[in-house]
């Protein structure tokens, strides 16, 4: 299907897309959300404290991470620049299956790469909880994360985040708007996790636990690091309630201000359930709560 002025639409979208470099983390993409230097990307793109980015015209800036929410996998960066070519944003609730989708990003070092496809669905995806996604059959690769998914008019309808099977999943633009209007969140543990089945060797000690979240990575100077959680640990839940979905962890972390959360987890030979107290809502929490 031919789209009138498609080349110009694609070029404008490229100008609103940035390359993000996080030290030691490779590169990703971001979207210029406002002309005064506000950039939206994925939280998993900017795990490093030192972030720089490059604009379409080659200019480079050091960026400040203003807000980062791993639960929603969104982050806001700020740079000292004005009159930037901001992206036009559409209402993602109006997107319908079968519409043309355009993705711009920087996959595998190719800056401003474009791919097209059609919208498959907008809503939750089986196995990923109740979160809503803009699902499209566009081809994404490492480096596309944080970049725009747009409609045929070049208006952003989502932030490209990951791939599930043959579908690209993007965080809907309406979710991004809500994130920006809600302000900062401190519901941050500082771990990358993956749902797993609890090992059978633990059945005699915690027969009620069949689901867990394996810690794949712990961010330095995070609440999880301060609590001595380690890669390989399996989070089971709180002392009051077991986890049954990934979303259960984020519900436990919700809140604001300094607070303590008590988590149960498995480690090593998984022969016993351990407990740890995690301090949330405090920057650079000290290592005063050790795993028990």
Q: What percent of the chain has pLDDT over 70?
A: 87
**Topology of the domain covering 6-78:** Thrombin, subunit H (2.40.10)
Residue 132, pLDDT above cutoff 50: yes
Mean pLDDT for the chain overall: 86
- How do residues 121-130 score in pLDDT, each as one tens digit? 999 888 777 7
Known catalytic residues are 44, 73, 145
In this prediction, residues 187-199 reach a mean pLDDT of 84
Q: Is the pLDDT of residue 114 over 80?
A: yes
User: Could you tell me the fold of the domain covering 191-280?
Assistant: Pdz3 Domain (2.30.42)
Residue 71 has pLDDT above 90, yes or no: no
Range in 17-31, 93-107, 161-175 with the lowest mean pLDDT: 17-31
pLDDT tens figures, 165-183: 889 999 999 999 988 887 5
pTM score: 0.69
* CATH number, domain 92-182, options 1.25.40.80, 2.40.10.10, 2.60.40.10, 2.60.40.290: 2.40.10.10
Q: State the average pLDDT over residues 64-76.
A: 86
pLDDT in tens, 79-92: 999 999 999 999 99
Domain ranges, ordered by start, for the chain? 6-78, 92-182, 191-280
Task: Give the pLDDT of residue 3.
Answer: 64
pLDDT of residue 289: 40
Q: Kindly compute the dihedral angle of the four CA atoms of residues 37, 38, 42, 43, in this order, to the nearest 10 degrees.
A: 100
Domains 6-78 and 92-182 share a fold: yes
């Amino acid at each position: 299907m031919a789209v009138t002025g498609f080349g110009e639409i694609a070029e404008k979208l490229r100008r609103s897309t940035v390359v993000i470099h996080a030290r030691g983390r490779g590169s990703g993409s971001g979207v210029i959300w406002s002309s005064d230097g506000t950039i939206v990307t994925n939280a998993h793109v900017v795990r490093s404290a030192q972030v720089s980015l490059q604009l379409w015209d080659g200019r480079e800036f050091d960026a400040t991470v203003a807000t980062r929410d791993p639960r929603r996998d969104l982050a806001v960066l700020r740079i000292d620049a004005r009159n930037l070519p901001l992206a036009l944003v559409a209402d993602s609730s109006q997107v319908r299956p079968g519409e043309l989708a355009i993705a711009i990003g920087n996959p595998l070092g190719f800056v401003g790469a474009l791919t097209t496809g059609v919208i498959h669905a907008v809503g939750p995806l089986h196995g990923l909880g109740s979160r809503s996604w803009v699902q499209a059959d566009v081809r994404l690769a490492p480096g596309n994360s944080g970049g725009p998914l747009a409609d045929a008019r070049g208006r952003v309808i989502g932030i490209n985040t990951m791939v599930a099977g043959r579908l690209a999943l993007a965080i809907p633009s309406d979710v991004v708007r809500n994130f920006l209007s809600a302000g900062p969140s401190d519901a941050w543990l500082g771990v990358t996790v993956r749902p797993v089945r609890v090992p059978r060797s633990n059945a005699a000690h915690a027969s009620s636990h069949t689901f867990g979240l394996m810690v794949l990575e712990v961010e330095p100077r995070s609440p999880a690091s301060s609590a001595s959680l380690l890669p390989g640990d399996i989070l089971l839940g709180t002392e009051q309630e077991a986890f049954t979905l990934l979303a259960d962890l984020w519900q436990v972390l919700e809140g604001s201000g300094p607070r303590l959360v008590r988590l149960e987890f498995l480690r090593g030979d998984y022969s016993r359930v351990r407990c740890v107290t995690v301090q949330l809502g405090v920057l650079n929490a000290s290592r005063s709560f050790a795993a028990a």
